[in-house]
Amino acid sequence: MAKIDDIIADFELIDDWEERYRYVIELGRELEPLPDSARNEANKVRGCASQVWLETQVTPDTSGDPMLTFRGDSDAHIVRGLVYILLSLYSGRSAQDVAALDAQDVFGQLGLTAHLTPQRSNGVRSMVERMRADARKALAAV
């Protein structure tokens, strides 16, 4: 999976929004599909027009603090790409970092905030809130 800094750098090289959308779709094609067992109600993200599933794995780091690893999938091509970007941003971070990090800054930097439909923007917010809620839950369990 590409690092978020690499995705930001790639976006800076692409001037045309049609090409940027194609790039987001290409990122989504790189996502490893979730197994059917992970496409369940517990992993389904509410508030998305498309079907979106996020699976969260919590493991302690060397100091015992919770680290979060996310996997995700969607039934819509562009949304799979947005899931990929969010996974690049949040997965593999401490629960503290995930709870504190606001993806809207990154989406604004990419220009996606201004170019997503209101419905897709709501879906992104729902995915981010789900990831941050999972981080807060992991922190509360420590």
Tell me the three state secondary structure of residue 103. helix
Q: Other CB atoms closer than 10 Å to residue 97's CB: what's the count? A: 14
SS3 assignment, position 61: coil
- Return the percentage of the chain with pLDDT > 70, whole number: 100
Active site residue 14: no
CB atoms within 10 A of CB 40: 11
Question: Of 48, 78, 124, 127, which one is the catalytic site residue?
Answer: 48
Give the tens place of pLDDT for each residue, 25-74: 999 999 998 999 999 999 999 988 899 999 999 998 888 889 999 999 99
Chain length of the chain:
142
* Contacts for 96 with CB less than 8 Å, ≥ 6 apart: 65, 135, 139
What's the fold here for domain 4-140? Sufe protein. Chain: A (3.90.1010)
* In the predicted structure, residue 102 carries a pLDDT above the cut 90: no
pTM of the model: 0.94
State the Cα–Cα distance between residues 130 and 138, nearest whole angstrom. 12
**How big, in percent rounded to 5, are the helix, strand and coil portions of the chain?**
55, 15, 30
End-to-end CA distance of the chain: 29
What is the reported pLDDT for 49?
86
Where residue 126 falls among pLDDT bands split at 50, 70, 90? Answer: very high
